[in-house]
């Protein structure tokens, strides 16, 4: 059984992510210089760069969680942060946040139903099993360790329908088994035609991507196919 969600019934588009002069400043500091960035539907992209290069800023603007200082972004032709864009995009943050009084299973039901997935139980059970959380389904994820929180957040990202998956440094705190399961979910999503954008330093993810975008000091330093010297690309971006 695959845990990757089904295609939504929203009208499709050939472009999953598009930015026009998208930039962000914090006072006198420029976190992301205005960029034009297009990701076709179904493409698998790795976003790399040192800490502070602008990766999280870009991702949070795509998810509609951070307002740009200039330009705008679109998800499937809809303004980032709009109801339509949020319906199409599943966001896995680098620092998961949970409700204090909901169990893992209650989180899964809430997220799945919020996004119109009524037949969520089998998918939720499969995800919990894959990430060794079945025995913790009734526990509060707000009390979990960093690694267990990350596993619970991954389950939430994949239990709902989406067309675009945007992920920020998902491997922090994961054990080897959790890492392998997440990589398999990325593969499943890509095979089903979903768009996958992952900010990471994990070389396996970079190598498996069709495209690598490297940011340096808030600007695009590289945009193309995975380089043969991946270590240099990731660390030297």
Predicted structure pTM score: 0.90
Residue ranges of domains in the chain, CATH in brackets: 15-96+161-236 (3.40.50.300)
Going residue by residue through the chain (237 aa), what tens digit of pLDDT does each one get?
Answer: 445 444 443 344 599 999 999 999 999 999 999 999 999 999 999 999 988 999 999 999 999 999 999 999 999 999 999 999 999 999 999 999 999 999 999 999 999 999 999 999 999 999 999 999 999 999 999 999 999 999 999 999 999 999 999 999 999 889 999 999 999 999 999 999 999 999 998 888 888 999 999 999 999 999 998 876 666 666 655
C-alpha span between 176 and 186 (Å, rounded)? 15
User: pLDDT (tens digit, 9 = 90+) per residue, 73-88?
Assistant: 999 999 999 999 999 9
C-alpha span between 47 and 216 (Å, rounded)? 11
Sheet arrangement for strand 29-40: 29-40, 15-26, 70-75, 78-79
Question: Coil, strand or helix: which one is 230?
Answer: helix
pLDDT at 228: 63
Residue closest to 222 by CA, chosen among 212, 235, 207: 212
C-alpha span between 72 and 21 (Å, rounded)? 7
Q: Is the dihedral of CA 161, 165, 166, 172 positive or negative?
A: positive
C-alpha span between 222 and 233 (Å, rounded)? 9
């Amino acid at each position: 059984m695959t845990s990757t969600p089904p295609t939504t019934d929203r009208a499709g588009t050939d472009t999953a992510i598009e930015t026009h002069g998208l930039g962000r400043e914090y006072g006198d500091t420029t976190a992301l210089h205005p960029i034009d960035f297009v990701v076709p539907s179904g493409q698998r992209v790795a976003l790399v760069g040192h800490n502070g290069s602008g990766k999280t800023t870009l991702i949070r603007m795509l998810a509609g969680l951070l307002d740009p200082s200039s330009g705008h972004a679109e998800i499937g032709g809809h303004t980032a942060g709009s109801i339509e864009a949020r319906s199409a995009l599943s966001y896995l943050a680098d620092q998961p946040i949970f409700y204090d009084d909901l169990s893992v299973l209650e989180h899964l039901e809430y997220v799945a139903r919020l996004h119109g997935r009524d037949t969520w139980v089998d998918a939720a059970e499969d995800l919990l099993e894959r990430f060794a959380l079945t025995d913790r389904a009734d526990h509060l994820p707000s009390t979990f360790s960093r690694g267990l929180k990350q596993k619970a957040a991954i389950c939430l990202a994949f239990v709902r329908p989406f067309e675009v998956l945007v992920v920020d440094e998902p491997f922090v705190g994961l054990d080897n088994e959790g890492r392998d399961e997440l990589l398999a979910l990325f593969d499943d999503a890509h095979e089903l035609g979903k768009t996958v954008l992952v900010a990471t330093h994990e070389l396996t993810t970079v190598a498996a991507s069709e495209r690598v975008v490297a940011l340096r000091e808030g600007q695009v330093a590289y945009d193309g196919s995975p380089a043969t010297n991946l270590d240099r690309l990731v660390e030297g971006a």
